[in-house]
Amino acid sequence: MKLQKASSFALFAVLELAANPTRQLSGVEIAAKYGISVHHLAKVLRDLGRAGIVDGARGVGGGYRLIANPKRLTLLDVIQVFEPVGSDSGASGGLKALTDPESALRVILDELDDHTVATFRSISISTMLKLMAAKPWAHSSRVFRPARTAAGRA
């Protein structure tokens, strides 16, 4: 699956801030590290601020820090600020009765959505930091596919 740019940028920013708890980082620093647009990241940081996840000074040079608890903040919490995750019952046509093929397809898509939500919800930012330190992708090509992880950054 692919995340929207804003969600990926937000996760990079949150992970950077969580990895540097004693230091404030500016949007410029984070954007430079990931080679992403400073302007877009500034907007993402503003949204994270409004969601109560980060706190920081205004302006591109201002420093940010994580105010949410990284042990309890999950991937789902961050991603949901920018895009809906999982089944959106309203998207299946509202009150209109579904045809059998539509209903059958809905069941399968809901299955996938349930897995996606459970996965994002079970991984905290602290767990992500531990994962980054352990680098399991370096030991097992079966569990991790770095190429697809990289695609999520697009």
Partner 1 sequence: MTAISTMKPLAEPRTSEAIRIRPATGSDLAELTRIDEEVSGVAKRKYWTHLLASGGGRSRYVLVAEEQNQIQGFIVGEIRAWEFGEPPCGWVFAIEVRPKTRLQGIGTDLFSALCDRFRRAGVTKVRTIMARDNHLVLSFFRSQGMMAGPFIELEMALDRNG
102 near partner 1, rule: CB under 8 A = no
Binding partner of residue 142 among partner 1, ligand COA, none, CB under 5 to 8 Å per kind? partner 1
How far apart CA 7 and CA 22 sit, in angstroms, is 24
| Greatest pairwise CA separation for the chain in angstroms | 56
| Secondary structure element (H or E) that encloses residue 55, with its range | strand 54-56
Query: CA nearest 25: which of 14, 36, 37?
Result: 14
DSSP sequence for 106-143:
HHHHHHHHHHHHHHHHH-BHHHHHHHHHH-GGGT-TTT
Least distance CB 124 / ligand COA (angstroms): 6
Which CB sits closer to partner 1, 7 or 74? 74
Binding partner of residue 140 among partner 1, ligand COA, none, CB under 5 to 8 Å per kind? partner 1
52 near partner 1, rule: CB under 8 A = no
Which residue in 2, 23, 50, 71 binds ligand COA (CB under 6 A)?
71
Which residue in 86, 109, 123, 153 binds partner 1 (CB under 8 A)?
123
> 3-class SS at 65?
strand
Binding partner of residue 39 among ligand COA, partner 1, none, CB under 5 to 8 Å per kind? none
